[in-house]
Amino acid sequence: MLMDEPFSALDVLTAETLRTDLLDLWTQGRMPIKSVLIVTHNIEEAVFMCDRILVLSSNPGRVIAEIKVPFKHPRNRLDPDFRKLVDDIYAKMTARQTG
């Protein structure tokens, strides 16, 4: 299943509820699909939901980093390791690209 910015137009509480519902369905094996691809600009959302994150350059769009998310579900956004991974991804995204 491909989801392109699925929660971006929603208010914070509705988006959070739907993220949790989707993760519950996925982790409990109640969805008849093998994989979900989520496109998002929200780093915290990516770390919260995904097992693997690809960071793209701005132009041209190339993969500049592949990050495996080491945390089991359910994830705690307040965990220091969670926050550190969010910060590390932000640093990769905002670093100057050369070449």
* pLDDT computed for residue 97 by the predictor: 65
pLDDT digits 0-9 by tens, 24-66 = 998 898 988 889 999 999 999 999 999 999 999 888 889 999 9
- Mean pLDDT in residue range 79-92: 97
Residue 2: in which H helix or E strand, if any?
A: strand 2-4
| Distance (Å, whole) CA 44 – CA 82 | 9
pTM (predicted TM-score): 0.90
What is the length of the chain? Answer: 99
Q: What is the mean pLDDT of the chain?
A: 93
Which is more confident, 28 or 86?
86
| Distance (Å, whole) CA 8 – CA 29 | 25
Residue 57, amino acid: S
| Distance (Å, whole) CA 1 – CA 92 | 27
Q: How far is CA 6 from the centre of its chain?
A: 12
